[in-house]
Structure 1
Amino acid sequence: MEAGAYFIRRSRVGIVAVSLGIALVCIVAGAAETGLPISKKEKTIMTMTITSSSFPHLGAIPTRHTCEGHDTSPELFWTEIPEGTKSLVLIMDDPDAPDPAAPKRTWVHWVLYNIPVNTSGLPEAIAARDLPTGTLEGLNDWQRTGYGGPCPPIGSHRYFHKLYALDTVLPDLNQPTKAKLEQTMQGHVIAHSELIGLYQKH
């Protein structure tokens, strides 16, 4: 299955306070760290953010979004989408699988692409039929489309919610894997931002 890294204990907080959690903001140069080259068309440094009302950056993911709860996707918001963006990509993955003490692979939980730029986020527990018009789905590592929540076999894992701004609309890749999608994204990434949540089984 998959695994995790750091464990954070937190008390319940109101949704308003949680919504103020700031995601890790990555400037354009940050996309290079993902192995996805920045589009050569993009010459200015831009920033964008991805946040959630469900948990703050580096905070604990609520049980309802995991295999121990309802396994529903979190509410997500994004801002500061760069000028020239033609589509957005969302990838959720866990680099700590199966054991954060000795990670061996990155487990993919959710893959969405061709998200329209006129969207500002996704509601909680979104179903495939309710995705923004034009959005296409890729395969997670359960070999199915849609969201698969945290379900770490051991330890506390990090769950990266990665948002990419692309300078193009991608072709229909017929439910691609994360690897195939990233290959197709090469050279089209304008900006990149990450929101990291943590989870350990109770």
Structure 2
Amino acid sequence: MSSNNPFARLPEAATFTVTSDTVTDGSAWSAEQLSAGLPGGKDVSPQLSWHDAPAGTKSYAVTVYDPDAPTGSGFWHWAVADIPATVTELPEGAGDATGSGLPAGAFQLPNDTRDARFIGAAPPAGHGPHRYFVVVHALDVESIGVPAEATPAVLGFTMAGHILGRAVLTATAETAA
């Protein structure tokens, strides 16, 4: 597993807590969170709950990122922007193609397959274990101001100066050779 830290070059931010009924921090995704292209995979976004965000939080964004993907730039699996500050949970499956499980005002950006939904883990066979950083970003603005067709990288760049805190849960996945 790579030691690549996706937060190493980002501004420091306070920490708060994210938990999941779907996955335990440091553990493997269940089959539901694997890509539908793998046996048993279903592309179902994880349930997430968070608390103790920093004072002044006006919205949240959620991202799922694999820094270990053999691309030179990692792989974005999911990005949700403009989650209202009053929301502290997303149900399992909220990241489907309709986004019907998302709160009013929130929207999904296209992932690295250019689909505005959650796409499950699918590390290349024999590539070893991959880490999936599930991050809830507490922001100091009600709307981050990126268009719905923006990439998760543009979301990250735009958020950089607005992040009050980060809650991080790391899942793993590996595909046997």
TM superposition score normalised by structure 2: 0.84
Q: Which residue, out of 44, 52, 71, partners 1:72?
A: 44
Write the distance in 2 (CA, Å) between the matches of 1:175 and 1:137. 9
Question: CA offsets per residue over residues 171-190 of structure 1, 9 Å max, x none?
Answer: 25232112211222132111
Q: Which residue, out of 133, 144, 149, partners 2:120?
A: 149
**Structure number with higher relative contact order (C-alpha < 8 Å, ≥ 6 residues apart):** 1
Q: Is the 8 A contact 1:136 1:172 kept in 2?
A: no
Distance 1:145 1:70, change over 3 A: same
Q: Is the 8 A contact 1:36 1:182 kept in 2?
A: no
Q: Which residue, out of 153, 158, 181, partners 2:131?
A: 158
Residue of structure 2 equivalent to 1:182: 156
Unaligned runs of 5+ in 1: 7-30, 39-45
| Residue identity matched to 2:78 | W
RMSD: 2.0
| Residue identity matched to 1:125 | G
SS of corresponding position for 1:114: strand
TM superposition score normalised by structure 1: 0.74
Question: CA offsets per residue over residues 42-83 of structure 1, 9 Å max, x none?
Answer: xxxx53111111121111111121023212111111111222
Instruction: Find runs of 4+ consecutive structure 1 residues off by over 4 angstroms.
Output: none
1:104, CA displacement in angstroms? 3.0
Write the distance in 2 (CA, Å) between the matches of 1:62 and 1:186. 31
Write the distance in 1 (CA, Å) between the matches of 2:11 and 2:86. 23
Q: Which moved more, 1:165-174 or 1:73-82?
A: 165-174
Identity, % of aligned pairs?
32
Q: Is the 8 A contact 2:90 2:101 kept in 1?
A: no
- Higher Cα Rg, which structure: 1
Unaligned runs of 5+ in 2: none
Aligned residues: 163
SS of corresponding position for 1:163: strand
Map 1:43-122 onto structure 2 (within 5 A): 46-67=14-35, 68=38, 69-98=41-70, 104-122=72-90
